[in-house]
Structure 1
């Protein structure tokens, strides 16, 4: 299938700029673990779906609660900064936009921890763009891999620290 066979059209620069501004605001709220602001960027109801999960959140309060549940894991993994890359942007109608996004997750030293691919269905509402559907393409796998890498690194550091202590005795 070629681009000219897809539904909709490639988004114009103005729409891409609006989507980038939306993603920047969303990323900033995720970076500061501000669930209420993040939820405010969603329409009602909102849907999140992945290979392992599908859920509809009927209110922004439910969305905020859902976001807050994930924050401890991100904090434990050392998430300190988030950036995004807008990989694709299609205007399905005058109000509906599909956005392909790569989120980049960094630690406090600016090192890339992991990344995650998402597809968002956004709608241009009276008060601006709102997310109505998020498809988590690979986030669970990437977060699980990061968790394994960090656990292995911690075990290796502990092993080296134990060996150093034993050789000094």
Structure 2
């Protein structure tokens, strides 16, 4: 019989939203991820209902959970996407295999978010942008909409983030 007391580990420090290994817990979303969700909802209102950015903004800020979103990122996405919509559609359209009018408004808005972030959020790696957009399309879009969004954004990344994509290819990270 061994009389030695079992070793006890020191209690782990709580890191909100992270597992013990530092990975984000399922369901724990960053402020930017939440901002993308709220922006997506607003862009949907714009695409489907023709609502203007100011009305959408006022409505969205009153929604439950908005306080957990990165408000500055939400503002940039909502207003930036609506302001540059025509330009972004001109970038997206050559990548499409159908007319823009046949694209779901959710996938359309997700692609806007991806293109906007490629162009204006240089602090967010291109792969993160694509992954975040895939997750948005999975959560809010149609069954295989995320695959379509992935294909379009992967087609645009070399054009909009050329240096970064080339660096990843050279390092064997892009495929």
- Give the TM-score normalised by structure 2: 0.28
Which structure ranks higher in relative contact order (CA pairs < 8 Å, sequence separation ≥ 6)? 1
Looking at secondary structure, tell me which structure has more helix per residue: 2
Looking at secondary structure, tell me which structure has more strand per residue: 1
